[in-house]
Amino acid sequence: MESAIVEIKGGVTLSAGFRAGAIYCGIKRSNLDKPDLAIIVSDRPAVAAAAFTTNRIKAAPVKVSQAHLRAPETRAFLVNSGNANACTGVQGIENAKHMTRLTAKALGLRERQVLVCSTGRIGVQLPMEKMEPRIAELPALLKSDGSNFVAKAIMTSDTFEKEFSVRVTAGSRVFHLGGIAKGAGMIDPNMATMLAFLTTDLPFEKKELQRCLGIAVEKSFNRITVDGDMSTNDTVLLMANGAAGGAVVRAGDPVLGPFQEALNQVTRNLARMIVEDGEGVTKFVEVQVIGAATYQDARKAAEAIANSTLVKCAWNGGDPNWGRIVDAVGYSTSKVREELIDVYYDGLIAVQNGMASNTPVEELKKAVANDRFTVTVNLHLGTAQYMVYTTDLSPEYVDLNRSE
Amino acid sequence: MESAIVEIKGGVTLSAGFRAGAIYCGIKRSNLDKPDLAIIVSDRPAVAAAAFTTNRIKAAPVKVSQAHLRAPETRAFLVNSGNANACTGVQGIENAKHMTRLTAKALGLRERQVLVCSTGRIGVQLPMEKMEPRIAELPALLKSDGSNFVAKAIMTSDTFEKEFSVRVTAGSRVFHLGGIAKGAGMIDPNMATMLAFLTTDLPFEKKELQRCLGIAVEKSFNRITVDGDMSTNDTVLLMANGAAGGAVVRAGDPVLGPFQEALNQVTRNLARMIVEDGEGVTKFVEVQVIGAATYQDARKAAEAIANSTLVKCAWNGGDPNWGRIVDAVGYSTSKVREELIDVYYDGLIAVQNGMASNTPVEELKKAVANDRFTVTVNLHLGTAQYMVYTTDLSPEYVDLNRSE
C-alpha cells in the first residue's frame, strides 16, 4: 500500500479524540511546582495493547493494569511519578486499584477501563490522602493539546521530555500515531524503568493491536541498555480509539504495513531518546552483531558488548579498546570462531580475522571521539544479526547513582 | 583424620622442592625496574592440575597450557605480565609454544613439562626478541624463597602482591600448600583476568589432584566478581611434587579431607585478596542468597545482585538501597515469591515479607558505611544457598578503566 509517514509535533494528543493533563499532588519529595500525576484519556471507546516488565517482581500498578487489560475496552491511562508503588504488598495493590476507581469515578468510566502506571521510589506506600482530591480535579485539566504536560509529569531523573508523533497517509486512509516516554536509570533490554504511552486514532481489533505492539517493542524498547538493570515497573501502553474513521483494522488489512512501520518509527525514536538521556551518558552507541550462526547467538553477543562495564568505560575515555569487545563476545556464550571475527568502528576495521587490523589506532580513536558511533562485529558464521542501542559508562553515572 | 592447618608465610616456595624467580624483559611499556617474566619450578617430577577461563575466546598460552597439561608430568610454570598474548592468531600460539621450548631448554626439561600464562594487553604480539635472552637467564635466578618475586612480577594494575600459604599436619603426615595470585580488572565468577599459581609438596595422583582443584576453584575464584567481565587468560595452576614424602594420594586417602580443607582455605584467601584489590574498590561485600528453591536459583539471584551496577553504585555512596537488591533478584530469573523475600544488611533486617522492615534507615546506613558487610537474601522457598564476594562500583573504577 502506498504510504507516507510525516513527523508532526503533538505527542499522544496528535491522535484525534485524545486529551491529556497533569497536576501536582505532592508525591515527589521536592520540586513543588512539578506535576507528578498525569492522565491520557480517549473521548470515545478504545482498545488497548501493552507490554510489561519481565522482572519477576512486578510493581502493584503493573499487576492491576495486567488485570484491567483483559477488559474489552480501555479509556484512560493514569500515571504518577515520585513513587513506584513497588514492594508495597497488599496495601500497594489496593492503592493501585483505588487510583483506577477514583479516576473512573471522576470521568464516568468503569474501573477496568483505566490502566495505571507508577515510577519513582521503591518500597514506600503512595500518599493516597494527597492524591485522592487531585484525581478528582483531573477531568477539568484535560486538554486536546495536553501531551507535553504528561511528558513532563512522568519525568524522574530524565533531563528532557520525550515525545514523538506522526501523521500517516496510507492509500485513502489518514491517521495519527503519537507517543511519550520516560527513561533514565535502570534501562535494559526487556523493559527497564521506562514508561511509554502511545495513541492512535485508527480503529483496531484488540488482538491485532497487541500483535503490532509486540513487534514494535521487540525492535525498540527491548533493544536499549544503559546499565543492565531492569525495573519492576516498566510498561508500554497503546490505545486505539478509531477517531480517524474507516473500517476496524484486523489481520490481513493492507493498512497494517504502513501502521507497523509508523509504530516502529515512533517507538524507535522514543527508545533512542531514552538512551540519549541515560544517566551520565556522553556517547550513544549502536552495537550490531552480524554473521552469527543463530539469532540468539547474535543477541547474546550484542548484549554482552552493550552491557560490558569495561567496554563502556573505554568508550567514555575515547579508547577504541577492541580487546574488551572481543573478550565480551567470547564470554557471551555465543558460538564464535576467534579467527573469523571482524570488528568495525563506524566502518573502520579494527579487528580482522580475530587479530588487530592495520587501521592506525589514531583513526579508530577519531571514531570513538564522536558522540555517536556504531560498533559492528561480524562473526562470519551465518546470516543472523541483532542490534542494540547502548551508551558509555561515565564517572558521572556512578556519582548520580551513589544515592537516590 | 585429625589435622591442623597453620598459616605460614612463604607463598609457592613454602612447599618443599619448589624454587621461583623473576626478571625484567621489557614487555611492560613503562616500569623499567619491574620484573615482567617469572617462573616457578619443581626440582623433582610433579603432577599438575588446572582450571582455565570459560571464555570462548582463549588466549594463546591458555590453549598451549591446555595441551601441555595432558603430559603426565609437569615441572615449571612460566608467566609474563604486560602482554596477554590474546587475539594474536597463529603467531601468538607459536610464541607461547616457543616460550615453553626456551624454558625447557634452559632448565633441561621437555617442552610439554612447561605450562605458560600471560596477562596484560590484548592483541599485540609478544616481543620474543627481548624475551628469548632473558628466559635463558631464569635458571640462575631461581630461589627457594623466591615466591614474592613472582607475586610481584605478575601484578598488572594490582596494588599489592597476593600470597597465602599453610603448613598442614594431618595424622602422621606433614605437608605444605602455597599460592600466589593476581587480579584487579575483569574479575567475574567463572574466572576473570586473574592468575593463580599453587604448589604442594604432597605426592598426588594427577586425576585426584584435578578433582580437588575443581572443588576449591568452584568455592573461591568462581565466587568473586568486580566488574562482571571475564577475561581470555584466566588460569589457575597447581603442581604437586611429593617432596613431603609418603604414599601417593589417591581417591579414598584419609589425607584428602585435610588437603581439600587447606586448598579451599588458600584459594579462598587468594580470591578475597583479589576482590579487595579490585580496581577502585572501597567496599568488600559478601552476598548470600539462602532459602532458594534450587542451587541454580540461589546462584542466579546472588550473581544478579553482585553484578548490578545500580546496587554497587548505591553501596559506594553508603546507601542501603534495598529496592535495587529486590529488583535484581526479580530480574535474575530465579524463582521468587515477592511476599516471602527478606533482606538483611549484616543481620539487620531491611526487607521483611517483600516490604520495608521497621529497621530505621539510619541503622542500615551504619552497616553500609563499613568497609566490609554482608547482604543476606532469604527467598523462603527451599534450602539451597549460594555466596558471592563482590565490591562497590566507584567513580574511580570508571576513571581507571577509561583507558588502558
Of the three residues B276, B299, B334, the one that is the final residue of a domain is: B276
Name the pLDDT band for B234 (thresholds 50, 70, 90).
Answer: confident
Q: In the predicted model, is pLDDT for residue B169 greater than 60?
A: yes
What's the pLDDT at A37?
Answer: 96
Location of C-alpha cell 502493584: A60
Q: Which residue range forms the structural domain that includes residue B324? A: 284-401
Residues A312 and A383 occupy one common structural domain: yes
Residues B252 and B288 occupy one common structural domain: no
Given an 8 Å threshold on Cβ–Cβ distance, is A403 in contact with B338? Answer: no
Q: In the predicted model, is pLDDT for residue B188 greater than 50?
A: no
Residues of A in contact with B327 (CB under 8 A): 55, 57, 86, 122, 186, 229-232
Residues B134 and B187 occupy one common structural domain: yes
Q: Which three cell numbers stand for residue A350?
A: 579494527
Q: State the average pLDDT over residues B165-193.
A: 79
* B54, B334, B403 member nearest A317 (Cβ): B403
Cα B281 to Cα B275: distance, rounded to the nearest angstrom = 8
Length of chain A: 404
Name the pLDDT band for B252 (thresholds 50, 70, 90).
Answer: very high
Given an 8 Å threshold on Cβ–Cβ distance, is B318 in contact with A403? Answer: yes
Residues A258 and A314 occupy one common structural domain: no
Tell which phi-psi region holds residue B150, choosing left (phi > 0), alpha (psi between -120 and 50) or beta: alpha
Residues B94 and B210 occupy one common structural domain: yes
Q: Which of B142, B153, B146 is nearest to B118 (CA)?
A: B153
In this complex, is the C-beta atom of B338 within 8 Å of any C-beta atom belonging to chain A?
Answer: yes
Q: How many domains does chain B have?
A: 2
β-bridge mates for residue A52, sequence order: A235
Given an 8 Å threshold on Cβ–Cβ distance, is B84 in contact with A323? Answer: yes
**How does pLDDT run across B317-368, given as a tens digit for each residue?**
899 989 889 989 998 989 999 999 999 999 999 999 999 999 999 999 999 9
What's the pLDDT at A187?
Answer: 46
Question: By CA distance, what is B87's nearest residue in A?
Answer: A355
Residues A265 and A342 occupy one common structural domain: no
Q: Which three cell numbers stand for residue A134?
A: 487531585
Cα B114 to Cα B246: distance, rounded to the nearest angstrom = 25
| Cβ(B309)–Cβ(B393) below 8 Å | yes
**Average pLDDT of chain B?**
91
Residues B109 and B197 occupy one common structural domain: yes
β-bridge mates for residue B21, sequence order: B39
Strand runs labelled E in A53-150? 74-83, 114-121
Residues A302 and A205 occupy one common structural domain: no
The proportion of chain A whose per-residue pLDDT surpasses 90, expressed as a percent, equals 73
In this complex, is the C-beta atom of B56 within 8 Å of any C-beta atom belonging to chain A?
Answer: yes
DSSP annotation of B11: G
The proportion of chain B whose per-residue pLDDT surpasses 90, expressed as a percent, equals 73
**Average pLDDT of chain A?**
91
What's the pLDDT at B42?
Answer: 98
| Cβ(A68)–Cβ(A112) below 8 Å | yes
Among the ranges given (A351-355, B226-230, B253-257, B297-301), the one the predictor scored with the smallest mean pLDDT: B226-230
**How does pLDDT run across A238-251, given as a tens digit for each residue?**
999 999 999 999 99
Mutate to test the interface with B, among A93, A326, A331 (most CBs of B within 10 A): A331
What's the pLDDT at B187?
Answer: 46
Tell which phi-psi region holds residue B108, choosing left (phi > 0), alpha (psi between -120 and 50) or beta: left
| Cβ(A13)–Cβ(A19) below 8 Å | yes
Q: Which of A374, A370, A368, A366 is nearest to A390 (CA)?
A: A374
* A227, A327, A332 member nearest B232 (Cβ): A327
Q: Is A263 helix (H, G, I), strand (E, B) or coil?
A: helix
Residues B222 and B351 occupy one common structural domain: no
What's the pLDDT at A227?
Answer: 53
In this complex, is the C-beta atom of B87 within 8 Å of any C-beta atom belonging to chain A?
Answer: yes
Of the three residues B218, B252, B276, the one that is the final residue of a domain is: B276
β-bridge mates for residue A164, sequence order: A179
**B103, B193, B232, B391: the active-site residue:** B193
| Cβ(A329)–Cβ(B57) below 8 Å | yes
**How does pLDDT run across A369-396, given as a tens digit for each residue?**
999 999 999 999 999 999 998 988 888 7
Cα A126 to Cα A74: distance, rounded to the nearest angstrom = 24
CATH code where residue B301 lies: 3.10.20.340
What's the pLDDT at B192?
Answer: 44
- ipTM of the complex model: 0.73
Q: What is the pTM of this model?
A: 0.80
Q: Which residue has the higher pLDDT, B327 or A70?
A: A70
Distance between the two ends of chain B, CA-based, in angstroms? 50
**How does pLDDT run across B356-386, given as a tens digit for each residue?**
999 999 999 999 999 999 999 999 999 999 9
In A287-326, the residues whose Cβ lies within 8 Å of chain B are: 307-310, 313-314, 316-319, 321-324, 326
Q: State the average pLDDT over residues B69-73.
A: 97
Q: In the predicted model, is pLDDT for residue A17 greater than 90?
A: yes
Residues B22 and B85 occupy one common structural domain: yes
Of the three residues A276, A304, A320, the one that is the final residue of a domain is: A276
* Residue A10: its H or E element: none
Residues B314 and B264 occupy one common structural domain: no
Residues A35 and A65 occupy one common structural domain: yes
| Highest mean pLDDT (candidates A26-35, A208-217, A272-281, A314-323) | A208-217
What's the pLDDT at B57?
Answer: 87
Q: Say which residues have a Cβ less than 8 Å from residue B67's Cβ, sequence separation at least 6.
A: B112
**How does pLDDT run across B97-156, given as a tens digit for each residue?**
999 999 999 999 999 999 999 998 888 999 999 999 999 999 999 999 999 999 999 988
CATH code where residue B61 lies: 3.60.70.12
What's the pLDDT at A254?
Answer: 96
